[in-house]
Amino acid sequence: MRCPFCGHAESQVKDSRPSEDGAAIRRRRLCPECEGRFTTFERVQLRELTIVKRSGRRTPFDRDKLARSIGLAIRKRPIEPERVEKMISAITRQLESMGETEIASSVVGELIMKHLKELDDVSYVRYASVYRDFREAGEFATFLGQEGLSDGEEDGR
């Protein structure tokens, strides 16, 4: 593991333990060159996943891309980072446990929507507006009506 401070190629593991959510190993490292200390997280990957896009193009599953996508939906929402991390880990575990190595992007999108709906209605609608590719306000209104969100339910009115 390269040192983020000096770029030295080797580092020493000083401590290793499970992360709080149990989905990763937290390692404290020391660079023998500059004596910088840093932390890394290593995740267990059950299998290599490939995402099949609507166009038929195949790309490797990227947990960071999943996190960025969710991050856009939840931006400026009062959601604890730990809850988001647990949701990302849960989605990743669900995808890995499906038994398939190739997964349609629509399956990933639907899983994200399911989890976001449980987490935060506004984030759910934000994600859905991009995922469902709404082009007109009427499509938004129809979606909200179908989801039971248009009557003020999302903020307790």
pLDDT digits 0-9 by tens, 130-143: 888 877 777 777 88
* Count of structural domains, the chain: 2
| Share in percent of the chain as helix, strand, coil (round to 5) | 45, 20, 40
Same domain, 63 and 80: yes
Same domain, 69 and 139: yes
Q: Domain of residue 108: give its range.
A: 50-147
Q: Is 143 within the bounds of a domain?
A: yes
Same domain, 65 and 107: yes
Same domain, 76 and 140: yes
Same domain, 61 and 37: no
Q: Is 135 within the bounds of a domain?
A: yes
Q: Tell whether the model's pLDDT for residue 150 goes beyond 70.
A: no
Same domain, 68 and 113: yes
**Percent of the chain whose predicted confidence (pLDDT) is above 90:** 63
Bin 140: left if φ > 0, else alpha if -120 < ψ < 50, else beta: alpha
Cβ atoms within 10 Å of 128's Cβ, excluding its own: 22
Place of tokens 């399911």: 114
What is the pLDDT confidence band of residue 109, given thresholds at 50, 70 and 90?
very high
What rounded mean pLDDT belongs to the chain?
Answer: 88
What pLDDT does residue 140 have?
Answer: 72
pLDDT digits 0-9 by tens, 18-40: 877 677 888 999 999 999 999 99
